Amino acid sequence: MALSEEALRQQLGKYKFRDLTIEELKNVNKTYPNFVFSMNTYTFKDGSQKDLLNFSGTIPVKYGNSYNIPICLWIMDSHPFAPPICFLKPTANMGISVGKHVDARGRIYLPYLQRWSHPQSTVIGLIKEMIAKFEEELPLYSLSSSDAARQSELLSYIAKITEGETDTKAKGKIGGDKDRCFNKITVIGAGDLGMACVLAITAKGAADRVVLLDLSEGATKGGTMDLEIFSLPNVEISKDFSTSANSKVVVLTVNSLGNAQTYLDVIQSNVELFRGIIPAISHYSQNSVLLVASHPVEIMTYVSWKLSAFPKSRVVGIGGNLDTKRFQYILANLLKTEVLGKDAWIVGEQGEEKVPSWTNCNLVAHQIETAAACNSREKVANRALEVLKGKGQRSWSVGLSVADLTDSILKDKRKVHSVSTLAKGCYNINSEVFLSLPCILGTDGVIEMMKLEEDPVMLEKLQSSAASIHDLQQQLKL
């Protein structure tokens, strides 16, 4: 189809890098002239919608015989810095073969998408890898006449291009049953924090298998090379998302290393990074708990929740777990106030806005009856916070905290941890924000939120943090 550049410019009015997008689409049109371009509404997992450019057509695949595989690609409004969203577009007599690179809804997952980076990555390069992967494992099969009738429901779904849960029965299982009996953890990101998490989780002994997904470009180097040289039992290093299949917990440690100028730009870069990660993870480990350690943890936990469409209980941020453990230790061992230490928590958001709080308020009230005693508790807490300020959050210490959380989740310990959880509806917070609050953790993530003593200072801090986080989230392009 011959492209009208002027018409395309009008259609791409809201695209941030319109000229780059048009130039690439012209190249696609030269190589695949059968593709049809149009603007349509795309519906994301969280129900939000965007008008996006999409193009559909067929790509030639040799699998014994030659086949024309119908596909549809949606071009994001931040293209070419964000990867396209790719789907199969089967006809009524075609069924979808679920496998390493295709889910039951026909969405396509490829290493090329996960490693997408402008200017090295292009739509032409993406299609070439798509053809190569489909020649290894054909994504479609012919239906009998009776099956073809049942296929119409699926095709209706794909036509809407939504990504919510469906009742469609998939042909085949991702990863089979071989991983289902294991306590398997995947750590995404092979930087210092990712490495620290792998080592701490392995030392803790909670997992039967640990997968380290290295998303860095080029050959394996640095710490991951050392892990390969001095191999640890039950630790696997990979660049392929399919190795994460059927993980019980997925730990996210990645952060964008782009050239962002403002704090908002930094967060938006992380959002774009997560766009290529969360859909793949939620595809391969549909029943996992997502444990977010990327920064800023409260916002990236929210982003993970939105992009995965997982229940809120199964998306958890590391939050104030490390600070709380340190705070309790300081109170009990350095300041010798063991009773206070048992019921003390660091809540709210990471950083300067964190605030101490207390559970078991009835027990505390029984032991500390006078206003003077309450003031004494506040002084002790302030002393503990001063000590806490001198403690940085280095990778190895955060790794130990992550191992502590994964141990509670995998072993269903029902322990209380201060973790980032959806705070809407608590403490007069009415927005969808994640804040660190004491929660009971088990195999399904957050089982129950513990009630805090409603101190006015604590409430004011929580509400202030919720407002500032919500304001930032409103400026993000999800």
For residues 52 and 43, the answer to whether their CB atoms sit within 8 Å is: no
Return the sign of the alpha-carbon dihedral for residues 245, 98, 126, 160.
Answer: negative
Nearest C-alpha neighbor of 472 from the set 432, 425, 421: 432
pLDDT in the model for residue 105? 79
pLDDT score for 368? 43
Q: What is the pLDDT of residue 363?
A: 43
Confidence (pLDDT) at 365: 45
The residue to which tokens 């604590």 are assigned: 458
**All domains of the chain in start order, with CATH:** 5-142 (3.10.110.10), 184-317 (3.40.50.720), 320-475 (3.90.110.10)
Which two tokens mark 396?
Answer: 């190895």
Q: How far is CA 355 from CA 22, 208, 392, 403, in A?
A: 50, 36, 17, 24
Q: CA-CA distance, 215 to 206, in Å (whole number)?
A: 24
Record the pTM: 0.66
Q: pLDDT at position 219, please?
A: 47
CA distance 134 to 137: 5
Q: What pLDDT is stored for residue 398 in this prediction? A: 92
Q: Which residue has the tokens 């809804």?
A: 105
Angle, CA of 475, 477 and 478, to the nearest 5°: 125
Selection from 137, 291, 95 nearest residue 200 by Cα: 291
Q: How far is CA 66 from the centre of its chain?
A: 37
pLDDT of residue 387: 64
Do the beta carbons of residue 36 and residue 19 sit within 8 Å? no
pLDDT score of 59? 94
Show the low-confidence residues of the chain (pLDDT under 70).
1-5, 7-8, 45-46, 144-181, 217-223, 257-260, 334-342, 360-393
Amino acid at 89: K
Please answer whether residues 429 and 340 qualify as being in contact, where contact means their C-beta atoms are separated by less than 8 angstroms.
no
Given this model, what pLDDT does residue 37 score?
A: 86
Distance CA 242, CA 179 (A): 12
HSE-up of 158 (CA within 13 Å, CB side)?
28
